[in-house]
């Protein structure tokens, strides 16, 4: 890789594309954004203006064909990911792609084959791995501070359901929401699951059920070590963004609680209370987005593997598809 800055092209100027653009521009050394594109040119122009990006490309192809660009960030809708990954690879660009890589294993495998054939780097955007709280849980497990893990519990609940239009195209709760938790289970325990059992219901919004999805789910996972993991999801927690983890081992336990806008606790003769947790992922995971992009850029500069591989991205989808099958068939599903 060049000694100077990594030159990056961004495909997608929506919410997450804007986050990455701002972080690279204002918070991450060693990289610069050469161009950005979006189907909504006005959105791309707005991000380019706020982040001093020199060029707004007319298409992804224009970015791929720019020989001065070293890497691309794919921040566009999921259905565009596999073809963009393949095209970026064919043009010799390193790739950061938001999750999921695709909604089917066939599409994922074709994309990963193109990456392998081109010999480029790929990192999948599972930003929660880079959260300081979850990283400390992983450290405790890896360092045997709590002994052999036996039970893992992840609570992941959104403050409000997404638009129905999103639910219809996202692949459903297991592929658009629980997928982060599937990756987190693998990250924390550092082993692959053997079996998944998922149960779900429509408890919040009947329109979600009409769209063929559930809004409340519990997933049970069994691992070769004997450990059991439980993932608890809801599309609506009225009190805010609920993100907690607890791991029990034979020597102790480690847990992470929700993050709050302040640490103040008010006590009077009626109650002891504090402000609500941070309200959504843009607030809760601000620093993890910086850390994951810093890790991607460092991997390119130092010519070493990225910390979240294509295999990691594929396995999260395998688990999501197995959970969906388990829910539909009302039975445990073995992970092959």
Domain boundary pick from 97, 120, 143 = 120
Position 245 scores a pLDDT of 98
**What's the CATH code of the domain at 107?**
3.40.50.720
Give pTM, 2 decimals: 0.95
Token digits for 224? 């070769």
Spatial distance between the Cα atoms of 285 and 266, rounded to a whole number of angstroms: 26
39 & 161 share domain? no
84 & 140 share domain? no
Question: Are 122 and 223 spatial neighbours (Cβ–Cβ below 8 Å)?
Answer: no
pLDDT digits (tens, 9 = 90+) for 82-135: 999 999 999 999 999 999 999 999 999 999 999 999 999 999 999 999 999 999
List all residues 6 or more positions away from 331 whose beta carbon is below 8 Å from its beta carbon: 197
111 & 133 share domain? no
Across the chain, mean pLDDT equals 97
Q: Is the dihedral of CA 334, 324, 122, 119 positive or negative?
A: positive
93 & 209 share domain? no
In a domain, 205, yes or no: yes
pLDDT greater than 70 at residue 1: no
Do strands 71-74 and 6-11 pair parallel, antiparallel, or not at all (unpaired)? parallel
| Percentage with pLDDT > 90 across the chain | 98
Question: 243: which strand partners?
Answer: 156
In a domain, 306, yes or no: no
pLDDT digits (tens, 9 = 90+) for 132-157: 999 999 999 999 999 999 999 999 99
**Structural domain total, the chain:** 2
Give the three-state DSSP class for 36.
strand
Position 291 scores a pLDDT of 98
Domain coverage including residue 105? 6-120
Token digits for 138? 């992983």
pLDDT digits (tens, 9 = 90+) for 29-85: 999 999 999 999 999 999 999 999 999 999 999 999 999 999 999 999 999 999 999
In a domain, 210, yes or no: yes
206 & 329 share domain? yes
Q: Is the dihedral of CA 13, 16, 18, 21 positive or negative?
A: negative
Do strands 228-234 and 216-222 pair parallel, antiparallel, or not at all (unpaired)? antiparallel
Spatial distance between the Cα atoms of 333 and 330, rounded to a whole number of angstroms: 9
Confidence band (pLDDT; 50, 70, 90) for 4? confident
In a domain, 293, yes or no: no
Question: Are 84 and 11 spatial neighbours (Cβ–Cβ below 8 Å)?
Answer: yes
**What's the CATH code of the domain at 139?**
3.30.360.10
């Amino acid at each position: 890789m060049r000694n100077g800055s990594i030159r990056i092209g961004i495909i997608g100027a929506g919410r997450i594309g804007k986050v990455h653009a701002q972080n690279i521009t204002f918070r991450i050394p060693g990289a610069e954004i050469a161009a950005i594109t979006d189907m909504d040119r006005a959105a791309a122009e707005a991000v380019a203006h706020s982040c001093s990006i020199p060029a707004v490309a007319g298409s992804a192809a224009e970015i791929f064909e720019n020989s001065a660009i070293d890497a691309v960030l794919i921040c566009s809708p999921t259905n565009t990911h596999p073809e963009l990954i393949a095209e970026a690879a064919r043009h010799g660009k390193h790739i950061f792609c938001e999750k999921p890589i695709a909604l089917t294993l066939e599409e994922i495998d074709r994309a990963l084959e193109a990456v392998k054939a081109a010999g480029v780097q790929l990192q999948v955007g599972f930003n929660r791995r880079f959260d300081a709280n979850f990283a400390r849980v992983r450290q405790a497990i890896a360092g045997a501070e709590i002994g052999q893990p036996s039970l893992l519990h992840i609570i992941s609940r959104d403050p409000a359901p997404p638009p129905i239009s999103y639910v219809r195209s996202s692949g459903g709760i297991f592929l658009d929401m629980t997928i982060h938790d599937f990756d987190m289970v693998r990250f924390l325990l550092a082993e692959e699951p053997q079996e998944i059992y998922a149960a779900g219901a429509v408890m919040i919004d009947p329109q979600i059920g009409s769209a063929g999805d559930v809004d409340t789910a519990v997933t049970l996972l069994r691992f070769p070590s004997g450990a059991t993991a439980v993932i608890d999801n809801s599309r609506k927690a009225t009190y805010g963004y609920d993100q907690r983890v607890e791991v029990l081992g034979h020597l102790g336990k480690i847990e992470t609680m929700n993050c709050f806008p302040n640490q103040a606790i008010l006590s009077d003769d009626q109650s002891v209370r504090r402000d609500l947790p941070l309200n959504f992922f843009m607030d809760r995971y601000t620093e993890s987005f910086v850390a994951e992009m810093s890790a991607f850029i460092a991997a390119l500069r130092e010519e070493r593997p990225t910390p979240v591989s294509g295999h990691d991205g594929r396995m999260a989808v395998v688990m999501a598809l197995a959970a969906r099958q388990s829910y539909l068939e009302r039975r445990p599903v073995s992970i092959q």
